[in-house]
Amino acid sequence: MNIDRRSFVKTAASLGVGSVLPFASDMATTAKEVLRIGFLGTGLRGQDHLAAILKRKDCRVVAICDIDPVMLGRTREIIKEHGASLPTIYDQSEEAWKDMLTREDLDAVIISTPWEWHVPMAIGALSEDLYVGLEVGGAFSLDECWELVRAEESSRGKLFFLENVCYRRDVMAIMNMVRDGLFGELIHLQGGYQHDLRAVKFNDGQQPYGGGVEFGEKGFSEARWRTPHSVHRNGELYPTHGLGPVAMMANIHRGNRMTHLTAMASKARGLHDYIVKHPQGGESHPNADVRFALGDVVTTMIHCQNGETILLQHDTSLPRPYSLGFRVQGTGGLWMDVNHSLHLEGRSEPHRWEDAAGWLERYDHPLWKKYAD
């Protein structure tokens, strides 16, 4: 990588914005170059990122690594639809990504593989001096967390964790309101991952491959690798969508820190119930005998050095509409996303919820104003 390219990419990285789109856009204003991107994993999430990148004139996709022929077929279609030339495909084995990372013509990679690959792939890419956009999930042990921290520090800031919820429009507006003191001193924050993941769906709503009844080797997309986590692990498996935003609001690592936590899991019934009631499942389906380890609702309470509490909930195996369950509460009032409402003492009617829409518009973040279109 030459000096120009380094400073070109650094300019964008220092902007620290949440999606790869503004990330690349600001780079384009500072240099007349094209960012050369490689993708590790082009499953359903990677395909979203790919389609977004292919819309840009200031980025070129030079390499793709995935090992699933169905996903690669969909990926090729997306590339064709955008009229882009086919990048080099690395699909020979689970380790093919290592070859891809040694390419001379790569500046950055976007990693959207299953969780177990995140740490090795991110560290591999950082050790090749590449910029890394890493999908959420990640480490499985404290040691792995530290490995990632050390690799990030020795790369001098080349790892960007793609925790998109930190950049959700309402979340950023609420963050602005927090910084402006509208909620007073923060006392308690909540968030989570509350998303019914029992079925596997394409973006068009179709349910292929047994709609989640089949998982592991016979499953498709997240049912292939994520549901097996629910078989073997019990805990808060996916904390960052809830934790990222509220940690920013609570100034974690900016004068505050999490000190301790306690967590509890409910019994696990949802996935079994889904399998036995599904038309492609039933009592005699082999997966009806699987005993799932993951409690249907896992609740974690975290204490912060400055006295705030954070409550996280992981809830992916029961029927429910999607909601990350945010609550931001201080001495001046609170916001909750599930009812799109807030209450601000002295501003809202006493003891009444107020529609948050007007406030969110007034406090819309400048990045959203600039890039929304």
Q: Where do contacts with ligand NAD occur on this chain (CB under 6 A)?
A: 40-46, 65-68, 71, 94, 97, 112-115, 117, 135-137, 162, 164, 221-222, 224
> Any idea what DSSP says for residue 18?
S
Give 19 or 306: the residue with its C-beta nearer to ligand NAD: 19
In contact, 325 and 338? CB cutoff 8 Å = yes
Please report the DSSP string for 243-310 in residue order: HHHHHHHTTBTTTB-EEEEEEEE----HHHHHHHHSTT--TTSGGGG----S-SSEEEEEEETTS-EE
Give 63 or 173: the residue with its C-beta nearer to ligand NAD: 63
| C-alpha span between 362 and 263 (Å, rounded) | 37
Give 190 or 227: the residue with its C-beta nearer to ligand NAD: 227
127: tokens are: 């050790």
Give 165 or 177: the residue with its C-beta nearer to ligand NAD: 165
The nearest distance, CB 67 to ligand NAD, in angstroms, is 5
The nearest distance, CB 241 to ligand NAD, in angstroms, is 7
Give 73 or 255: the residue with its C-beta nearer to ligand NAD: 73
Q: Count CA within 13 A, CB hemisphere, residue 336.
A: 6
The nearest distance, CB 139 to ligand NAD, in angstroms, is 12
The nearest distance, CB 238 to ligand NAD, in angstroms, is 7
Residue nearest to ligand NAD (CB): 43
The nearest distance, CB 305 to ligand NAD, in angstroms, is 28
| C-alpha span between 277 and 282 (Å, rounded) | 6
Please report the DSSP string for 70-89 in residue order: HHHHHHHHHHHHTTPPPPEE
Give 203 or 262: the residue with its C-beta nearer to ligand NAD: 203
Residue 202, CA distances (Å) to 59, 101, 127, 134, 318 in order: 26, 29, 35, 22, 19
Helix axes 240-249, 169-179, angle to 10 degrees: 20
What letter represents residue 89's amino acid?
Answer: I
| C-alpha span between 21 and 367 (Å, rounded) | 12
The nearest distance, CB 45 to ligand NAD, in angstroms, is 3
Give 94 or 289: the residue with its C-beta nearer to ligand NAD: 94
The nearest distance, CB 7 to ligand NAD, in angstroms, is 29
